[in-house]
Structure formats: structure tokens, C-alpha cells
A and B are shown apart, each in its own frame.
Chain A
Amino acid sequence: MNKSAETIMTDKPVIDQHLQGEHEHKDPVGAKMGMWLFLMTELLLFGGMFLIYGTYRYMNPEAFHSAAQELNTIIGTFNTIILLTSSLTVALSITALQKGNRTLSVLLLAITIAFAFWFLINKYFEWSHEIHNGIYPGSSELTNRTNGEILFFGLYYVMTGVHGIHVIIGIVILSFMLAFIVKNKVTPENYIRLEISGLYWHLVDIIWIFLFPLFYLLR
């Protein structure tokens, strides 16, 4: 018999063994790591579009400049404030749960979701205003303008649109979390799912922080 076995089976309790059970797999660090990796891919997804934006802005500086004048900075600013505040409320909701205050946590989460809806409603009005003015892909008003302006509005609709989809996904996720807290599936002891959902929501916020100046402020 070979004494120097490559792997030695020991009876000693093995570090982290409890992490590996199939179903009640609980590894908060791993879960967070997975989320961060996912967020990185989300950033890269938008990164592709930012790259396109950068290229076309470089190619059509004047057109981008003048087209940006037509966007409604007030709604944009307002939406920025809404999203920033919602990031705060979701963070507070996590802290509240950590401290064991479930009611407050649920309340703050509900406020976050309400903010998210508010953001979308503003976006709806903003888009309808644009569309009412005849500015949308393929419209006769837009096709008569310069290529640079067509590109600007194309990017505007695509990028804020994809961001909007993320807001909707965020609403769905946060609503699930709310239900989980109410049903005691996410608890003060085990709140990792809420925590990583919060991370996702911050990402949605951060992306907007980049979209806002690029479309509304850079004139």
C-alpha cells in the first residue's frame, strides 16, 4: 500500500465543506463575486455602445452638439436625482434588514420601486414629446436632417432604451426581494440575495450617471 497518497482523506472537519452541499449552498462571498462578474459584463455591454457613441461623436462633433440642444435637460436632471435617491433607499433597505428591522426594510424597498416607476414615467413623457415632434428612427423629419443628427438620435433611443429595459428588470428583481422579505425567505440572518440585488440596482444607476452627461449636458 502506498503511504504517500496524493490526496489524503482526513476525518478532520474540512474547511468550507458546508459550502458545497448541493441545494442549501450558502456562500455569500461567492454569490457577491458572481454578481460583480455579471455587473462587469453589463458594463461591457454598455461599453460597446459607449464606444460607438465616442466614435460617432468624434466623426460628427457639430451635429452631436446641436442635436443635444433638443433634449429636455430638466427631465434628465430630475431623473438623475430620482435614480440617485433610489440607490440610497435600496442601500438603506439592506442596512435596515441587517439591523433586524423588516418593516422598515420593506418600506424602503417599496420606495425604491416607486422611484423606479417614476423614472420610467418621466422617460415615457420625454420620449413621447420627442416622437410628437417627429423625431424617431425612420421618421421623415429625422431622415431630412444630417447624418450626424440621425446617429445622435439613433444612439439616444437605443442607449436610453436598453437602460430602460434594465430599469424594468430591476423593478422585477426588487419586487421579488420585497416578496421574499415579506415571506421570510430573505431574513436578517440571510440577506445576501437582497444585497446582490442592491448591487444590480446601483449598476443601473451608475450607467445612467454616464448616459446623462453624454446626452443631456455635453452641448
Chain B
Amino acid sequence: MANHVIAENYVDFYKEKGKHTGLGAWLLTTDHKRIGIMYLVAIVTFFLVGATLGFLMRLEMLSRGRTIMDPQTYNSLFTLHGLIMIFLFIIPGIPGVFGNFFLPIMLGAKDVAFPRLNLLSWYLYISGGLFAVVSVFLKGGPIDTGWTFYVPYSIRTGTDVSWMILAAFILGLSSIITGLNFITTIHRLRAPGMGWFKMPLFAWALYATAWIQLIATPVVGITLALVAVERLIGIGLFDPSLGGDPILYQHLFWIYAHPAVYIMILPAMGVVSEIIPTFAHRTIFGYKAIAISSLAIAFVGYFVWGHHMFSSGMSDTARWIFSLTTFLVALPSGVKVFNWVATLYKGSIELGTPLLFCMAFIFLFSIGGLTGLVLGALATDIHLTDTYFVVAHFHFVVFGGGGFIFFGALHYWFPKMFGKTYNEKVSKAALGTMVIGFMLLYFTMFILGYEGMPRRYYDYLPQFATLHIVATVGSWILVGGILVMIGNLLVALKKGKKASMNPWGGRTLEWTVPSPPPVENFEEIPVITHGPYDYEYNINGDSDKMEENYH
């Protein structure tokens, strides 16, 4: 079939001889594809570090009292785990890796708008990561405030908060620069003929995400910087003993950090909107609705931050308004889920690994989203706030949502990025294992939380023992699945068969160039004449036509 041609006789971007060779070819590159791969390596590494910390925490919870660590170590572990997973894995994850690699190709461009800023942004990311790591070994010891840096504790604790804040600030800058780059790229570098509504949905999702990155990040940047200044010279802005208001800190923090939740999830939704039509072999249902709902989520997402503070002192009016807006965000998310399901309906579905990742996503994310409504309702939140229910909820949303789709995207685009195919049997088995482990680990946490198990404790009452053991066993299964999944991909890198240009029969532009793509992506900039998922119009794929350009 036309789809399964392997392009020869061209130089892919790994082999192309540029100005620099060896390590320099990577570290000094401005090629968006190489930068994407560098993000991939760094981000997966940090993910594994974070997962190890989570694993160790669960090990501590295997039995009551001290199991493998003391309380202070546990405090540091959940803080570091949270910070790494949020700032170094999930926020930069999909935009950094797949946005960089695929956005220009999907738009029919040769690179992003500002290639050098793009490299700078990677360096900022790496230095932020290094600062975070260094802060652990400084004399104050690893930070123990929780990933939210709540004052006044973050002002008083003897641990090295300021370094970690510096790290977060730098990571924020990196995120801003990436966002700015993507917005400009989307405005300026779409191929001729690609109107806004002919853009792939992944690009739409990145666009909405980039705006959030730009609008929300500076606020938290300055807020965290003020905490560091407060520690340094005691200006009093967040210190109640000098008149400062800790609640104001919480507002400023969540004004960013809640929209940031959408930085984590919107790109994932974009990836799902790419994978589903490809594997249903059917035009996406409700293209415009999905595109616009990304923007709607980004917009409404700004007005819900207060739901993190229902129990920390707000007027009743503020509380019910925030509760209402919280329910409103559920709508555009629901629109997306319905559209995906409708796309599958009557499609000729091929159960490839990436699609199974999407199924896992819809399942887990829906549980996360619905339990979010439980927390968004005032009465139930008062009972459940700061319990394991919350821990379960956000793992379902960010990990089951964003995290799983990060790996789903990796499986979808792996053949394109590396030009190799992987063993689908193993990847499906790994995914199944991960879902089972995930459910054992986190679903039990809903019950634990409902029964009153508070979060951020290294110990528990006897009645919680059984469920905690189940959760810990779940964490072993989950981590096992993750390791098999990554191992499988590493094997594929070494031994995988050569991938064709369009192994899944996708319709977006990245499938019209060879795997892996040449340095300039396209021999000639394509001219777009119709929508990105036009299966009726173009049933057999156009890979063969593209092929001729490389012979």
C-alpha cells in the first residue's frame, strides 16, 4: 500500500553534516527536531527520577511507623516529587518534546519562528533542572514545603527554599520563551493556504497552551521571587508578623498554578485529537468545536483558581462563584470527550498502541474530571480537602491525563522521530500493566481519602493499613509497566525495523515527509488546499506522491 513506502536517498536530520560535529551538533543546534529530542532525553530522565521518589514514598507507606525513612525525609520527598513532576516533567513535557519536533512540520514550516531562542529555552530548562538538583545538596537540606511553597512556612523553614525558587523562576522563563515562540510560529509560519481552521488540532492546542504560559507564568514568577526576597531581607509582603497576608500569596500562586493545570492537559488533548482520527480512519467529528473549546478552557481556566482555597479563608460569595466557574470548565472538556467518542463511532477502528493510550486517557481522565467536580462542590470539599482524595484526583488528571498521553504521543510519533518501529505486543502489555497498577495505586486513594487519610503524612492509623498495602503493591506494578514500556522503546531504537513514511495512515503533514525527516523538513513548502483530517477526500494517502520528491 502507498502508505508503507520507506523513503531512501535522502539525508535525515540525524545524519546531516552541519556546522558542528559530535556533541556540538546537538548542544549548539538550532534545529527544532534536535531540540525536541534533547528535551525528550532530559524530560524522561526527570520523570524517572520523580517516579523513583514516588516509589520510595509508597514503600514508606507499606507499613505503619517508620519503614524506610523518617518524617523529614518524607516531607522532602513529596516536595521534590511534586516539583519535579510538575515543573520538569508535565509542564514542559508535550510542548517541549512534541511541540518542538512537530509543530513546524505540521504547519509546513522549516523551523520555529525563533530557532535560537528555542535553544536558549532548552538551556534554561536544563539549568532550572540543575538548580533544583543542586538545592537538594546544599547545607539547608532538601526543601520540605510541599510543591506549593505556601507561606509563612516557606519563609520560616531552614531548608533551601530560595534555590528551588530560583530554579522554578528559570523554568518559568523557559516556558514563557517556548510559548512566545510557538505563538509567533503559528501566526507567521503556516504554509500557504493553511487558514486557521485548516490547522491540525494539536497546533490549536499548543496555541491555547502557549497563551496560558505567557499570561500566567509571570505572575507566579514574581510571587515566588518575592518569597525568596522575603527570606533574604524580610520585606514583610507575605509575613503575617509584618502585616503581610499569606492568603494573598495563595491567591497569587493559584492564579498561575491553576491555569498551569491546563498547560498540562491541553497539549495532551491536542495529541488525542490527532491520534483518534488516524486510528478511526475518519475525519474528526466537530473540528471547530474542539479547536474553540481549547481556547474556552484556556479562558475559563483563569477564573477558577479560588477552588484551591475553599477552606483557607474566603468570603462565601467568592466561594460559590469559584465553585460555579469550576463547574463551567467541565463543559468544554466534556465537549472534547464527546467529539472524540463521536469520531470513533462508525469509524474503521484499528487498535494500535497509540489509540489504546487514548482509551486509557479517556477512562482515567474522566474519573479525574468527575472527582474534580466532587471537590469543586463546596460541601464535599470541606470534608475531602487535604486528604488522599485530592492526591488521587490530581494523579488521575495530570498523570492519567497528561502523563499517559505524553507516552501515547511518544508511541504515536516514535516511528517518525526515530525512523524505527517498536514491538506493539510488548507496548500494549506494558500499557495494560500500567493501567492496572495505576488503578490499584490511586483508586484506593479515593477510598482512603474519603475515610479520612490526610495527605503529606508519613504514617497512618491502623484502619488504613490494608488499603495502603494495596496502593503500594499498585505502585510496584505501575513502575514495572513503565520500565517495560521504556525498555521496549530502547530496544526498538537499537533493533527496530525501519519505519515507513506513514505507518499509521495519518493525514497531517508530518506523515508526508520521510521518517526521520530531513533537516529542512520539506523540499518545498507545501501548499494546503483542505482540512487536516480529510479522509473522504483523500482515501489512499499521498505518501507515494511525496515519495517521488526524494528519488
**Which A residues are closer than 8 A to B by beta carbons?**
1-2, 4-11, 14-17, 19-23, 25, 27, 29-30, 33-34, 37-38, 40-42, 44-49, 51-52, 55-56, 59-60, 137-138, 143, 146-148, 150-151, 154-155, 157-158, 162
Closest to A63 in B: B243
How far is the CB of A27 from the nearest CB of chain B, in Å?
6
In this assembly, does B100 line the interface, its C-beta being within 8 Å of a C-beta of chain A? Answer: no
How far is the CB of B155 from the nearest CB of chain A, in Å?
13
A8–B526 touching, CB < 8 Å: yes
In this assembly, does B110 line the interface, its C-beta being within 8 Å of a C-beta of chain A? Answer: yes
Offer 22 A-B interface pairs, CB within 8 angstroms, sorted by A.
Answer: A1-B545, A2-B538, A2-B540, A2-B544, A7-B108, A9-B546, A10-B524, A14-B527, A30-B188, A34-B117, A41-B217, A42-B218, A49-B226, A55-B248, A56-B243, A56-B245, A138-B234, A143-B242, A154-B236, A154-B237, A158-B229, A158-B235
How far is the CB of A55 from the nearest CB of chain B, in Å?
6
How far is the CB of B497 from the nearest CB of chain A, in Å?
26
B538–A33 touching, CB < 8 Å: no
Q: Which residues of A contact B300 (CB under 8 A)?
A: none
In this assembly, does B134 line the interface, its C-beta being within 8 Å of a C-beta of chain A? Answer: no
A44–B184 touching, CB < 8 Å: no
Selected from A41, A47, A55, the residue in CB contact (under 8 A) with B176 is A41
B542–A5 touching, CB < 8 Å: yes
If A6-B530, A20-B109 touch, does A154 touch B218 (CB 8 Å cutoff)? no
Main secondary structure of the interface of A (DSSP, over half): helix
Q: Which residues of A contact B2 (CB under 8 A)?
A: 2
Q: Which residues of B contact A59 (CB under 8 A)?
A: 245
How far is the CB of B169 from the nearest CB of chain A, in Å?
11
In this assembly, does B487 line the interface, its C-beta being within 8 Å of a C-beta of chain A? Answer: no
If A7-B529, A14-B192, A60-B243 touch, does A33 touch B187 (CB 8 Å cutoff)? yes
A22–B243 touching, CB < 8 Å: no
In this assembly, does B528 line the interface, its C-beta being within 8 Å of a C-beta of chain A? Answer: yes
In this assembly, does B461 line the interface, its C-beta being within 8 Å of a C-beta of chain A? Answer: no
How far is the CB of B346 from the nearest CB of chain A, in Å?
22
Selected from B180, B189, B525, the residue in CB contact (under 8 A) with A38 is B180
Contacts A19-B188, A48-B223, A150-B243 known; 11 new A-B pairs at CB < 8 A = A4-B538, A7-B509, A7-B512, A7-B526, A7-B528, A20-B525, A37-B214, A47-B218, A59-B245, A137-B235, A157-B235
Closest to B188 in A: A30
Q: Which residues of B contact A20 (CB under 8 A)?
A: 109-111, 189, 525
A6–B183 touching, CB < 8 Å: no
Once bound together, how far apart are the Cα atoms of A58 and B276, in whole Å? 52
**Which B residues are closer than 8 A to A by beta carbons?**
2, 30-31, 108-111, 113-115, 117, 176, 179-181, 183-184, 187-189, 191-192, 214-215, 217-219, 221-223, 226, 229, 233-237, 242-245, 248, 252, 507, 509, 512, 520, 523-530, 534, 537-542, 544-546, 549
If A9-B549, A147-B243 touch, does A16 touch B184 (CB 8 Å cutoff)? no
Q: Which residues of A contact B524 (CB under 8 A)?
A: 9-11, 14
Q: Which residues of B contact A158 (CB under 8 A)?
A: 226, 229, 235, 237
Closest to B181 in A: A34
Q: Which residues of A contact B111 (CB under 8 A)?
A: 20, 22, 25
A8–B214 touching, CB < 8 Å: no
A138–B233 touching, CB < 8 Å: yes
Once bound together, how far apart are the Cα atoms of A60 and B509, in whole Å? 59
Q: Which residues of B contact A34 (CB under 8 A)?
A: 113-114, 117, 180-181, 184
Selected from A7, A22, A41, A147, the residue in CB contact (under 8 A) with B236 is A147
Once bound together, how far apart are the Cα atoms of A157 and B114, in whole Å? 35
Once bound together, how far apart are the Cα atoms of A151 and B243, in whole Å? 7
How far is the CB of A7 from the nearest CB of chain B, in Å?
4
Q: Which residues of B contact A6 (CB under 8 A)?
A: 507, 512, 528-530, 534, 537-538, 542
A137–B222 touching, CB < 8 Å: no
How far is the CB of B165 from the nearest CB of chain A, in Å?
14
Closest to A20 in B: B110
Q: Which residues of B contact A60 (CB under 8 A)?
A: 243
How far is the CB of A15 from the nearest CB of chain B, in Å?
5
Q: Which residues of A contact B237 (CB under 8 A)?
A: 52, 56, 151, 154-155, 158
Once bound together, how far apart are the Cα atoms of A55 and B251, in whole Å? 12
Once bound together, how far apart are the Cα atoms of A47 and B217, in whole Å? 12
Once bound together, how far apart are the Cα atoms of A163 and B549, in whole Å? 54
